[in-house]
Amino acid sequence: MKKYLLFILIILLFASCKVISPSKMFQTEKDFEFSEFQASKKEYIIQPFDKLNLKIYTNDGFRLIDVQGNAGNNMQSRNVISYLVEYDGKVKVPTLGRIKISGLTIRDAEQLLEKEYSQYYKNPFVIINVTNRRIIVFSGGSSKGSVLPITNENFTLIEALAQAGGIDNFSKSYKIKLIRGNLNAPQVFLFNVSDLKDMKKANFLLQANDIIYVETRPRYASKILVEIAPYMSLLTTILLIATFL
């Protein structure tokens, strides 16, 4: 029995965090400096790799332009084409060619295109929609992930957590990481939604490609039992065989 208990103790000593929690993601050092909270901008900023639906009208909306060369054919011109904002922030649109658009709000981008198209059309009226905006939410550690589309301009952290199914009993509502920007050098924010005084920060407006990660409680006991169960079963079998010999 002493040997049996000693064996279990050795297993526990050598069971590292990586063995017990191999699926843990986005870990940070104890002295990691999280990005400081800043009030979110109310309007979405167009970024490289956004996909845009572009609709162009003339005469302030009375007649739809067919930007593919079929001017006057309203039925054909209703087909909406997606335009990709390239890595350098430019988008290639009919007639104008490549034009810088990233870094602008949707309203500013519409006004810019209206100004440029006014050289060719009378009173152009432009509507832009970004179609591929989405965020990734891990609401229960790495075991529960969702990809959510950004459905409105004021899509907040709280709304995203609600759509992803909320926070379960094993998740840490006081330790929610938000990862934003280039993954080679991202901004990492830390949020606490367990206390009402921090809800102002939790109303943080999300941007396309944000990653939300809700940490979970370790549950070391159950994981250790799972890890050592095969060894315990093997030892029990050996002890039974030894007893009858």
Q: Please give the Cα distance from 66 to 114 (Å, whole number).
A: 15
Instruction: Count how many domains the chain has.
Output: 2
Mark whether 138 and 113 lie in a shared domain: no
- 177 touches 102 (CB < 8 A): no
Average pLDDT score over residue span 187-208? 79
The reply to whether 137 and 34 lie within a common domain is yes
**CB 4 within 8 Å of CB 235:** yes
Say yes or no to pLDDT of 18 above 90. no
163-168 mean pLDDT: 86
CA 229 vs CA 14, 121, 236, 243: distances in Å: 15, 75, 10, 21
Beta bridge partners of 177: 190, 213
Q: Is residue 116 part of a domain?
A: yes
Q: Is the pLDDT of residue 76 over 80?
A: no
Mean per-residue pLDDT, 175-179: 90
Task: Give mean pLDDT, residues 138-145.
Answer: 81
Q: Do residues 100 and 210 both lie within one domain?
A: no
**What CATH number corresponds to the domain at position 187?**
3.10.560.10
pLDDT at 22 over 80: no
Residues 183 and 197 grouped into a single domain: yes
Q: Do both 124 and 162 map to the same domain?
A: no
Residue 39 counted as domain residue: yes
Do 35 and 140 reside in the same domain of the chain?
yes
Which of 142-146, 156-160, 226-230 ranks highest by mean pLDDT? Answer: 156-160
Domain of residue 168: give its range: 22-43+133-217
Question: Looking at the domain assignment, is residue 241 inside a domain?
Answer: no
d(CA 106, CA 99): 14
This model's pTM is above 0.85: no
Q: Give the CATH number for residue 55.
A: 3.30.1950.10
What counts of helices (H) and strands (E) characterise the chain? Answer: 7, 11
Residue with the bigger pLDDT between 127 and 152: it is: 127
